[in-house]
Amino acid sequence: MTGEPFFVTTAISYPNGRPHIGHAYEAIATDWLARFARLDGRAVFFLTGTDEHGLKIAQAARARGLSPRAFVDEMSSLFRKMAEDLRISFDRFIRTTDPDHRVCAQALWQRMAANGDLYLGRYEGWYSVRDEAFWDEADTTLDADGVRRAPTGTEVTWTVEESWFFRLSRYQERLLDLYDRHPEFVQPAFRLNEMRAFVERGLKDLSVSRTSFDWGIPVPGAPGHVMYVWVDALANYLTPTRFWTGEGGWPWPAQLHVIGKDVMRFHAVYWPAFLMSAGLPLPRRVFGHGFILNRGEKMSKSAGNVVEPSELVQAFGLDAVRHFLLRAIPFGQDGEWSPEAIAARANAELANDLGNLAQRVLSMIVRTCGGRMPSARPATPEDEALAARARALLPACRSAHEAVRPDLALEAIWDMVAATNLYLTRQAPWTVRRTDPARAEAILWRAADALRRVGLLLQASIPDTAARLLDQLAVPAGARGFAGFDTPVPTGTPVPEPRPLFPRLELPA
RNA sequence: GGCGGGGUAGCUCAGCCGGUGAGAGCGCAGGAUUCAUAACCCUGAGGUCGCGGGUUCGAUUCCCGCCCCCGCUACCA
């Protein structure tokens, strides 16, 4: 049931700018997956990090008057800090400048070369000396003065550069076969269709080295060449496996790569082709999530709507942010975000539905049950109905986890919270206890146990709040894994005086 | 242009292979209640189900045309 190891990754971030809510979203969603799997007793390896090579980094560093190395040291630390602030439970924060990653990327390269898939060729295109970059012809303009210019306004000239190429064209059939045999490889499903359509149109070989800049991993045996993005960046997933030594690493393949929809092709086409070339197993799945739009608009510096994750956490608290992102947006779709939406969701669900439920149940237990966990007593049909729902919650959440849909898991959990509130209102233990104290205790026990299960499951999404809830329910630290899902808190266990679980938030002015 | 997906209550969306009075959550308005974080519970809100045709006893659900939106259509990650 729970034996399968779970190696899960985010994409690595390109730290030429500061982390934004999009980075936070991917990290939080993947963190939910990792925490859930750990709670479910699986061996988890959660990898995230930064992709630090390339021209843009070198340019950004120069603009700051820093060496590339000094620049990425600083920028990467911002991403790591973000992950820590968001309580992302990564097992390794990888940097593509890490020594073992360099070895890994070169080992991958050599495997691909050994398979005859890398050859020296020429990369040609419209090159801007000022930008140090090639531009698509479609992006350039031929101005009235007869000069062709890049979007940046700099002059471009047709330039030929020596480059290593990967024989991607060899892999068209094998990729299509992969999509046919393992349609779950690319998710959501509509992305698979896009990837298949892309591959069906025919694949050209891929330029995978550059000589025009040197901030990158050297190509083995090819002085002057550094790897150009794909082999370097994608190899990060392989680095913790130490596949090149055959020992000491986390077992490959990864179960899941969580990525943004913008890097779908690189993970669903190039990456499996690289691995096939290297004779390595493929990851089980690649899941492309959507973007978080600020009031319906993509964030950009020019629009002045860039929000840093730390600001959100400061304004609303970490769990309000985590809860909103996981709950409010169907994972895989784009979603909209606003301060009002975060606060409204937190108030309605964390404070009112959940927090108030905990408060009403626990305060009655403390006040009317002598501060000790009551006992179940014979169950009524209403009790059984609630219990059946509660038991079904773990399987439902497991399904949502398997489907990479935290939103569906949280929907099921909040249905349970609502059912428990309704149960409590209908059973009215505050009235029953005047005539039948034992029955009132049984009702409170039933509600408390539903809350306990909710609390266990919420550890994946809102770990701080969930921990407080479980503390208040007197759930022992050793009984908080899903293995204990059907194990109630023993009758008679002292229950502490409850404190409001989650405060109502005021809207920022 | 090609391929794919969409346009359903103020907002976000459910609505398998056509059929009793078109749903949920949020928001809003009433009510009830007081165990509880003015929370929980109940009720209502009267939406051309994008537009126009067609098939059918009957279509939001099938077919055709049109309008609009979105994704993919290779070297910025």
Q: What is the pLDDT of residues A12-51, one digit of tens each?
A: 999 988 999 999 999 999 999 999 999 999 999 999 999 9
Q: Which helix (H) or strand (E) holds A74?
A: helix A68-85
Whole-number Å distance, CA A260 to C1' B75?
18
Q: Mean pLDDT lowest for which of A133-142, A360-369, A405-414?
A: A133-142
d(CA A41, CA A482): 7
Residue matched to tokens 């997956």? A33
Instruction: Kindly report the length of chain A.
Output: 509
- Residue A439's CB is within 10 A of a number of other CB atoms, namely 16
DSSP 8-state symbol, A269: I
Q: Is the CB of A193 under 7 A from strand B?
A: yes
DSSP 8-state symbol, A169: G
Residue ranges and CATH numbers for the domains of chain A are 6-117+167-289 (3.40.50.620), 338-484 (1.10.730.10)
* DSSP helix/strand/coil, A101: helix
Q: Is the CB of A358 under 7 A from strand B?
A: yes
Provide the pLDDT confidence category of residue A375 given band limits of 50, 70 and 90: confident
User: On chain B, which bases lie within 7 A of the protein's CB atoms?
Assistant: 2-5, 12-13, 26-27, 34-42, 71-77
pLDDT value, residue A304: 55
Q: Is the CB of A133 under 7 A from strand B?
A: yes
Is residue A455 within 8 Å of A469, Cβ to Cβ?
Answer: yes
Whole-number Å distance, CA A228 to C1' B47?
54
Residue matched to tokens 């591959």? A199
pLDDT value, residue A509: 43
**Axis crossing angle, helix A463-472 with helix A437-458, rounded to the nearest 10:** 160
Q: Is the CB of A190 under 7 A from strand B?
A: yes
pLDDT value, residue A259: 96
Residue matched to tokens 């630090």? A52
pLDDT value, residue A506: 74
Q: Which residues contact A38 (CB under 8 A, 6 or more apart)?
A: A44, A89
ipTM of the shown complex: 0.91
Task: Tell me the β-bridge partners of A45.
Answer: A7
Tell me: pLDDT of A211 over 70: yes
Chain A 225..284 CB hits on strand B (< 7 A): 228-229, 233, 261-265
pLDDT value, residue A448: 97
**What is the phi/psi pair of residue A415, to 5°?**
-60, -40
Give yes or no for a cis peptide into A19 (omega within 30° of 0).
no
Chain A 6..35 CB hits on strand B (< 7 A): 14
Q: Mean pLDDT lowest for which of A15-24, A296-305, A364-373, A386-395?
A: A296-305
Nearest nucleotide by C1' from A360 CA? B36
pLDDT value, residue A1: 44
pLDDT value, residue A467: 97
Nearest nucleotide by C1' from A195 CA? B72
Q: What is the pLDDT of residues A102-149, one digit of tens each?
A: 999 999 999 999 999 999 998 888 888 777 777 777 777 777 888 888
Q: Is the CB of A201 under 7 A from strand B?
A: yes
* DSSP helix/strand/coil, A280: coil
* DSSP helix/strand/coil, A427: helix
d(CA A270, CA A209): 15
Give yes or no for a cis peptide into A5 (omega within 30° of 0).
no
Q: Is the CB of A204 under 7 A from strand B?
A: yes
Tell me: pLDDT of A278 over 90: yes
Angle ∠(A357,A362,A367) on CA atoms, nearest 5: 135
Q: Which residues contact A189 (CB under 8 A, 6 or more apart)?
A: A183
Whole-number Å distance, CA A245 to C1' B39?
59
Mean pLDDT to the nearest integer, A140-162: 82
Tell me: pLDDT of A508 over 60: no
Tell me: pLDDT of A299 over 60: no
Mean pLDDT to the nearest integer, A270-277: 97
pLDDT value, residue A159: 84
Mean pLDDT to the nearest integer, A229-239: 95
Is residue A105 within 8 Å of A52, Cβ to Cβ?
Answer: no
HSE at residue A507, side-chain half, CA atoms within 13 A, is 7
pLDDT value, residue A378: 76
Tell me: pLDDT of A2 over 70: no
pLDDT value, residue A136: 75
Tell me: pLDDT of A310 over 50: yes
Dihedral (CA of A348, A352, A355, A358) sign: negative
* β-strand pairing of A92-95 with A118-128: unpaired
% of chain A at pLDDT higher than 90:
78
Structure tokens at A298: 């993509």
Q: Computed over its alpha carbons, how large is the radius of gyration of chain A?
A: 27
Tell me: pLDDT of A301 over 70: no
Mean pLDDT to the nearest integer, A361-389: 90
d(CA A44, CA A379): 39
Arithmetic mean of pLDDT over chain A: 92
